[in-house]
A and B are shown apart, each in its own frame.
Chain A
Amino acid sequence: MTTLVLIEAEGASIKKASLSAVAAARVFGAVDVLLVGAEGAQEAARIEGITRVLHADSTPPLAECIAALIADRAAQYDHIVSAATAYGKNILPRAAGLLDVQPITEVIEIIDADTFVRPIYAGNALATVRSRDAIKVLTVRNANFEAAKLGETASAPIESVSAAVEIPDARFVGIALTHSDRPELETARVVISGGRGLKDAENFKLLEPIADRLGAAIGASRAAVDAGFAPNEMQVGQTGKIVAPDLYIAVGLSGAIQHLAGMKDSRVIVAINMDPEAPIFGVADYGLVGDLFEVLPQLQAALEA
């Protein structure tokens, strides 16, 4: 059995979420990876446990093209996998549509080659489903799978591929990347998130020195994003990013079920909120009831002590 894993590069490096998808896919057997874009093939060839790298260096970064590329070669595979990132979630269901397959998204556990566990209802229930499709198309949550390692040398062969099909008229215009020197939200060991309680964008910056100190990524509730305190890619939750760091610190956010869906699998949860009844305390290992504007400077001082 061979699996095709769609991976993604950022610059010349392979994203950690993609390495988790490779590791998840290895339980099925041999793995080929598919990389679209000019950069990253050298590092992709270093991923341990893969058979080869299919490199589509001139294919535009569009779901229309990449799904067609996948569907074109799908007959050789029995599983097609990617990380459940915005990238994978845009492309894989389209590939599944071309292949007449029901995709299985946001997989958190692989039981066997046909059987998978995925959260439904914002994580309030876990469904185990068995697929009857000949090819299984899956997106997997990186938080639930270890990342595959990179070897010293680029040992997997790199094969150049391109799509041989007509695609509908779509053009990639560009991407406005939010630059950050902090770790990636989905793979950071520590995450500190702010909510509406921070009151404005200026105050939201109060999280930064603490994040710097802890080497943490910064996240946000939807309310904080909607109010313009933080950019959308920082949103944690059912409809934002799913994180499971060693330590999650929730500051001035209430803990709505849609937010909990994105972080309740964190190893240790800390909540700072002035309302002792806030639902976030229901999942927090350590709760601190207090005004965040007093607590945050004290926390910073205590960390530096």
Chain B
Amino acid sequence: MKIVVPVKRVVDYNVKPRVKADNSGVETQGVKMSMNPFDEIAVEEAVRLREKGAASEIVVVTIGVAEAQPVLRTAMAMGADRAILVQTEAALEPLAVAKLLKTIVDRENPGLVIMGKQAIDDDMNATGQILAARLDWPQGTFASAVSVENGRITVTREADGGLETVDLALPAVVTTDLRLNEPRYATMPNIMKAKKKPLETIAADTLGVDLAPRLETVTVIEPPVRKAGIKVASAAELVGKLRDEAKVI
């Protein structure tokens, strides 16, 4: 079975994002960029499925600028076999991303797509569900455990009140939650090896997909800053303040 893993290049999760002065978006120039943390988990899970014998080939795909190539190399250093860059300068929305991913999935014909539940820049949590809908495949979102057997996948999902289990026919789309696994670090020899693995570039506008944005960004602002309050010296003083000043207990 082949696995396709879509990965996104985002502002590193350790960086404090800054809103641009003209309120058009968040500053990404000169900022450290990395693979979306949920997508690292997706790559790791794909590699583990191959190690268990449930998968034979792992293809990573990103949709974005040429500078996203290092993210694909990182995924290959973690164990992916080859990579596809669908190149575009446009910042695409999940709907357009899902449509582009569908063209890749149609071409690659994988048994499983495993991807992040959420990109930590747009925090949309939508691309996997949209892709599954457009492929007419079943979906196992927010996965904290998966197992593949007899052409089906069992997914343990992080639901509102506890853990839910669904059993899906393959091919299917799975989106990862944080507790699915702990991604490995790429070792130096694997980083060297990844440099020689195949990386194909396809121009996004050759795929026959309507990429016109559906959302217009009116403005992006900093949220109101919350000011630090006071320090109290004891639990008794704290309870007094909560009762008499804040009146919340």
* A pairs with B: yes
Binding site for B on A (CB under 8 A): 10, 62-64, 67, 85-87, 89-98, 100-106, 115, 118-133, 168-178, 190, 214, 222, 225-226, 231-233, 238-239, 246-247, 257-258, 264, 267-270, 281-289, 295, 298-299, 301-303, 305
A90-B141 CB under 8 A given contacts A97-B132, A172-B166, A267-B248: yes
Main secondary structure of the interface of B (DSSP, over half): mixed
Minimal Cβ-Cβ distance residue in B for A300: B235
A267 to B230, CA, bound (A): 15
Which one of A132, A233, A289 lies within 8 Å of B158 (CB-CB)?
A: A233
Smallest Cβ distance from B142 to chain A, in angstroms?
6
Name the residue on B nearest A166 (C-beta): B136
Complex CA distance for A101 and B241, rounded to whole angstroms: 49
Shortest Cβ distance from B117 into chain A, in angstroms? Answer: 8
Q: Which listed segment binds A: B11-19, B80-88, B199-207?
A: B11-19
Looking at the assembled complex, report how far the CB atom of A177 sits from the nearest CB atom of chain B, in whole angstroms. 4
Q: Report the stretch among B42-50, B54-62, B63-71, B118-126 that lies at the interface.
A: B118-126
Closest 6 CB pairs of A and B: A97-B133, A97-B130, A169-B169, A285-B229, A298-B235, A93-B129
**Inter-chain residue pair count (beta carbon < 8 A):** 262
CA distance A81 to B160 in the complex (A): 18
A102 to B219, CA, bound (A): 18
Q: Which chain A residues border B235 with CB–CB below 8 Å? A: 288, 295, 298-299, 301-302
Stretch of B1-9, B90-98, B103-111, B188-196 on the interface side: B90-98
Chain B positions 19-42 with a Cβ under 8 Å from a chain A Cβ? 19, 26
Known pairs A125-B220, A173-B167, A175-B165; A168 contacts B137 (CB<8 A): yes
- In Å, the complex CA distance between A118 and B238 comes to 34
Q: Are B229 and A287 neighbours in the complex by a CB distance under 8 Å?
A: yes
Which residue of A is nearest B132, CB measured?
A94
The 20 sampled A-B contact pairs (Cβ below 8 Å) are A63-B129, A86-B159, A86-B160, A91-B129, A94-B133, A96-B133, A102-B215, A103-B126, A119-B123, A120-B122, A132-B215, A133-B214, A171-B168, A173-B154, A175-B159, A232-B158, A281-B231, A295-B235, A298-B234, A298-B236
Residue of A nearest to B38 (CB): A239
Which residues of the other chain, B, contact A232 by a CB distance below 8 angstroms?
144, 158, 163, 177, 179
Measured CA separation A288–B232 after assembly (Å):
5
Return B80 CB to nearest CB of chain A, in Å. Answer: 24
Asked if residues A104 and B165 are in contact (CB atoms below 8 Å), the reply is no
Q: How far is the CA of A101 from the CA of B126 in the complex (A)?
A: 11
Q: Is the CB of A86 within 8 A of B142?
A: yes
* Chain B 219-239: CB-based contact to A (< 8 A → 1; otherwise 0): 111110010111111111011
Cβ A268 vs Cβ B216 within 8 A: no
What's the least CB distance linking B110 to chain A, in Å? 15
Most buried by B among A121, A268, A288: A121
Chain A residues, CB < 8 A from B117:
239
Chain B residues with CB under 8 A of A246: 248
Q: Which residue of B lies closest to A67 (CB)?
A: B133
Cross-chain contact B161 with A268 (CB below 8 angstroms): no
**Are A102 and B220 neighbours in the complex by a CB distance under 8 Å?**
no
In Å, the complex CA distance between A298 and B222 comes to 38
Given A93-B94, A172-B164, A284-B228, 14 more contacts at CB 8 Å?
Answer: A63-B129, A85-B160, A103-B124, A105-B125, A105-B126, A121-B26, A121-B120, A168-B136, A170-B138, A170-B167, A173-B167, A299-B235, A299-B239, A301-B235
Which residues of the other chain, A, contact B131 by a CB distance below 8 angstroms?
Answer: 97
With A283-B226, A288-B238 already in contact, the answer to whether A175 and B126 are too (CB < 8 A) is: no
The majority secondary structure among interface residues of chain A is: mixed
B217 contacts the other chain (Cβ, under 8 Å)? yes
- Identify A287's interface contact among B129, B139, B214, B228, CB under 8 A: B228
Instruction: Tell me whether A128 and B118 are in contact in the complex, defined as CB-CB below 8 angstroms, given that A258-B13, A299-B239 are known contacts.
Output: no
Q: Which residues of A have CB within 8 Å of B162?
A: 175-178, 231, 233
Complex Cα distance A264/B226, Å? 8
* B178 is an interface residue with CB less than 8 A from chain A: yes
B239 contact from A105, A264, A289, A303, Cβ within 8 A: A303
Q: What is the CA–CA distance of A233 and B161 in the complex, to the nearest angstrom?
A: 6
B120 touches A238 (CB 8 A): yes
Contacts of B154 in A (CB 8 A): 173
**Once bound together, how far apart are the Cα atoms of A145 and B247, in whole Å?**
22
Across the two chains, which residue of chain B brings its CB closest to A214?
A: B249
Q: Which residue of A lies closest to B19 (CB)?
A: A125
Bound together, the chains give a CA A88 to CA B120 distance in angstroms of 19
CB distance from A182 to the nearest CB of B (A): 12
Chain B, Cβ-Cβ closest to A10:
B161
Bound-complex Cα distance A231 to B213 (A)? 39
Q: Which residues of B contact A118 (CB under 8 A)?
A: 123
The reply to whether B138 and A125 form a contact with Cβ atoms under 8 Å apart is: no
